[in-house]
Amino acid sequence: MASSSQAPNRLDYLDAARALALLLGIFFHASLSFMPMFIGWAVMDISTSNIVAIFVMINHSFRMELFFLIAGFFSHMTLQKKGMKAFISSRLIRIGLPLVVGWFLLRPMLVSGWVMGAESMRGDVNVLNGLSQGIASFKELPNGFLIGTHLWFLYYLLLIPALVLVVCSMVSLNDKVKHTLSASMDHVVTWLCRSSFAPFLVMLPIASCLWFMSHWGMDTPDKSLIPNWPVLFIYTGFFSFGWLMNRQRQPLADFATITWGKVFLCLLASILSVLLTNYQSQLGHPDYLLLKIGFTLSYALMMWTLVSLFIGLCFRFFNRLNHTMRYLADASYWLYLIHLPIVIWLQIAFAEVDIHWAFKLLSICMITVMLSLILYELFVRSTVIGAVLNGRKKSRVLISALKSSA
């Protein structure tokens, strides 16, 4: 393998972290039909497991926070390299365009998945009826723009950088304020990345936001263009933290350092979160408020330590050029955009099949990733779509490898 010095323009371990975070999203959505209780998902499988519920809760606690932290880091890097005008243009093209086009292309398939999922639980699936209802859902516009899709993350990827830029612009109006505040923030970020006490301090504002969620844990803000304020605060916090860490690279290395103390805190917080979540529906419990406080604190601590440890693991294993991981990093944006209708349709196909949930879950994930990669190789990577998603067209890899082997 080549060393990281051979690829000076890319931080391979952060590319890997971003790619794996998006792949975790595919596993997350694929798991939802195997939850042991009905959660309002498109379909509920006949084979379920409490293990899936634990995986879903832990996965959902840090995956998008990790993604927004990395997005903030790379956003600041792009702004410094290309300037404000090019940065805004790239955000509109690479995020705004996929949000609008992706919504119109994916919504009929996603709505049809919910229609067919409901039909499958009654023992009768009509694909044509599902698709027709999916197309008919366009009549609801402009209502329900984000509802029924996973593309809310693109909306927040537009909204949060805009908020950060507004704050930065306001601070820049006064040079003295800018210098003082910048120096102070650099010291705060450095301390947060180095201090072993930082997780306990950070978990307080995170837990405060979690308190106002509609359920125990992180809400999914896919119901309206009006921001979900607690979610917005948390994602903006992680985005800003990544943004500020890019100003000085050493804090990121300190933040991602793996220590036994951090591992212990992560395990303890995860176990407490899993145990306490069982009390979520027990509104009449005499200690309900104390239990919720305990959950929000442990969940916040789990969130922070998992983000840190995940980046640390990626640094340890992917801090060098790895062609497979780089290809996945390039493809991951496309994979996440396209995966949800494929996942839901496969969940419906497997729902009534009498085999173990683990086999079905693994099959759904493998088929989804393989099919998405084939589509990426044939129709995205070397086309204008690839230029929009990845910044430029790239040569096909899998097809070239097959031709050379033949």
**Tens digits of per-residue pLDDT, 279-320?**
998 888 999 999 999 999 999 999 999 999 999 999 999 988
**Tens digits of per-residue pLDDT, 56-96?**
999 999 999 999 999 999 999 999 888 888 899 989 999 99
- How high is the mean pLDDT of the chain? 87
- Give the span between the Cα atoms of 368 and 370, in whole angstroms: 6
CB-based contacts of 158: which residues, under 8 Å, 6+ apart? 91, 92, 95, 96, 99
CB-count burial class (<10 Å; 0-12, 13-18, 19+) for 335:
buried
Q: What is the pLDDT of residue 405?
A: 54
Q: What is the pLDDT of residue 142?
A: 66
Q: 279 with 296: CB under 8 angstroms? A: no
Q: What pTM does this model have?
A: 0.90
**Tens digits of per-residue pLDDT, 195-235?**
888 899 999 999 999 999 999 999 999 888 889 999 999 99
- Give the span between the Cα atoms of 54 and 60, in whole angstroms: 10
Q: What is the pLDDT of residue 112?
A: 83
Helix axes 229-245, 198-211, angle to 10 degrees: 150
- Give the span between the Cα atoms of 240 and 189, in whole angstroms: 10
- Give the span between the Cα atoms of 325 and 2, in whole angstroms: 13
**Tens digits of per-residue pLDDT, 134-173?**
777 777 776 666 676 789 999 999 999 999 998 888 877 7
Return the minimum-mean-pLDDT range out of 20-34, 57-71, 115-129, 242-256: 115-129
Q: What is the pLDDT of residue 110?
A: 84
Give the tokens for residue 257: 């350092």
Q: What is the mean pLDDT of residues 386-401?
A: 79
Q: What is the pLDDT of residue 339?
A: 95
Long-range Cβ contacts of 86-95 (<8 Å, 24+ apart): 90/391, 91/157, 91/158, 91/161, 92/158, 93/388, 94/388, 94/389, 94/391, 95/154, 95/157, 95/158
Confidence of residue 336 (pLDDT cuts 50, 70, 90): very high
